[in-house]
Structure 1
Amino acid sequence: MRVGILSDSHGDYRYIDQALAHKEAQDVEVWLFAGDIAMDADYLAMVTDKEVIKVAGNNDWPGGRLPDYETADIAGHTIFLTHGHLFGVGFGLHNLAQAAVDVGADIAVYGHTHIAVDTLLDDVRILNPGSISRPRDARNGSFMVMNLEVDKSPRVKLLRI
């Protein structure tokens, strides 16, 4: 299954549109939105006919209407999705990896730092697609596309728009 991963659009829908128009996104079957801003996740769900799994970011609370984290079982993998601010991702990924382990996830997806990450920690594949609209690690925004198959390691591509 092909999974798209977006984060940190901060109200700028044109970057979501650019990600959706990217050739690598054409066969995405489900989108993960790792927060900031909840209305952007709603927009993504409106303009695509694919499922969008979404969580709140630090700019969506207090009182946000989305959960702080979600788990999703996709193609034999369990994904822990969060924005990351509640797990201190700006200071390291160990708390995030532990939260993923605690729920039985083999993949953790987060945002918040606006810096793309693809690493393995405590047997958890940790992914941050960077920011689609306000990157801190490059000139252009980014998102990820991940291919998931049962009993196989995820294949992940970082894509710049």
Structure 2
Amino acid sequence: MKIGIVSDSHGGYQYLDTMLACKEAKNVKLWLFAGDIAMDADYLAMVTDKEVIRVAGNNDWPGGRLPDYETVDIAGHTILLTHGHLFGVNFGLNNLQQAALDVGADIAVYGHTHVAVEEMKGDVLILNPGSISRPRDASNGSFMVMDLQPDKSPCVKLIRI
């Protein structure tokens, strides 16, 4: 199953449109939105007619209409989806790794730092798609597409728009 991962759009619908125009986004069956700004996830769901699992980012407060994290089971994998700010991801990934282990997740997806990451930390694959609109690690925004199959390691691709 192809899963799109995006974060930190900060109101930039045009970046989501550019992302959706990429060939890699065409076969995505489900989107994970790792926070900042929640209305953008609503837009993504509307224009793609795909399910978008979303969590609150630090810029999505107050409001409380979204959870701080979600756990999702897909194709034999368990994913912890969070924005990351509550796990101190600016200072390292140990807390996020432990949170994933605590909920039985083998994949942790976060945002917040605006820097793309794909790192295996123990038994947890940790992913950050970077920011689609305000990257801090390159001049172009980014998102990820992950292919999940039962009993296989995830195949992840970072796409710059």
**Is the shorter-chain TM-score for this pair beyond 0.5, marking a shared fold?**
yes
Please list, as runs of the form range in 1=range in 2, the aligned pairs for 1:30-69 lying within 5 A after superposition: 30-69=30-69
- Structure 1 partner of 2:113: 113
- Structure 1 partner of 2:19: 19
Structure 1 residue 51: deviation in Å? 0.8
Q: Which 4+ residue blocks in structure 1 deviate beyond 2 angstroms?
A: none
Partners of 1:127 and 1:64 in 2: CA distance: 25
- Structure 2 partner of 1:130: 130
- Structure 2 partner of 1:78: 78
Structure 1 residue 160: deviation in Å? 0.2
Name the SS of the counterpart of 2:59 in structure 1: helix
Partners of 1:104 and 1:136 in 2: CA distance: 31
| Cα displacement string for residues 86-137 of structure 1 (whole angstroms, at most 9, x for unaligned residues) | 0000000000000000000000000000000000112100000000000000
| Cα displacement string for residues 20-39 of structure 1 (whole angstroms, at most 9, x for unaligned residues) | 11000100000000000010
- Structure 2 partner of 1:95: 95
Structure 1 residue 61: deviation in Å? 1.2
Aligned residues: 161
Give the structure-2-normalised TM-score. 0.99
Partners of 1:60 and 1:135 in 2: CA distance: 18
Give the structure-1-normalised TM-score. 0.99
Structure 2 residues without counterparts, runs of 5 or longer: none
Partners of 2:77 and 2:97 in 1: CA distance: 15
Partners of 1:65 and 1:37 in 2: CA distance: 12
Structure 1 residues without counterparts, runs of 5 or longer: none
Alpha-carbon RMSD = 0.6
1:154 aligns with 2:149: no
Partners of 1:64 and 1:19 in 2: CA distance: 27
Structure 1 residue 64: deviation in Å? 2.7
Letter matched to residue 109 of structure 1: V
Percent of residue pairs bearing the same amino acid type = 80
